[in-house]
Amino acid sequence: MTIMKNGFEGIKKWAISRIPKAKLRWGFMAALVAILLLRSYFVRVLLTSELFFAFAFAGVLVIGGAAYLMGAVGASWLVRSRQNVERD
């Protein structure tokens, strides 16, 4: 416990020396740090999930496009084969 307290005191003294005229409120700084950490975590999670859904959408698009092309080729083949049968 004393190590953590001394560590925080050192950080507090360093911050006060960097900003001499500002009054540093430790609770406010802790809340600000917590908000920034949570924000960066949620941003990372959102970006990761967005990339995951983008890859999933691309996969569905490729599979659906391939199925559509196979169906279109099959339909055109059936139409052409009927035309050939009608000619004979």
User: What is the distance between the alpha carbons of residues 13 and 22, in angstroms, rounded to a whole number?
Assistant: 12
Domain ranges of the chain: 23-87
Give the pLDDT confidence score for residue 53 in this predicted structure: 97
| DSSP state letter for 1 | -
**Residue-level pLDDT, tens digit, the chain, 88 residues:** 445 555 667 767 777 676 655 555 777 777 788 788 777 888 888 889 999 999 999 999 999 999 999 999 988 888 877 777 777 6
pTM, two decimals, is 0.46
Q: Return the residue matching tokens 């908000």.
A: 35
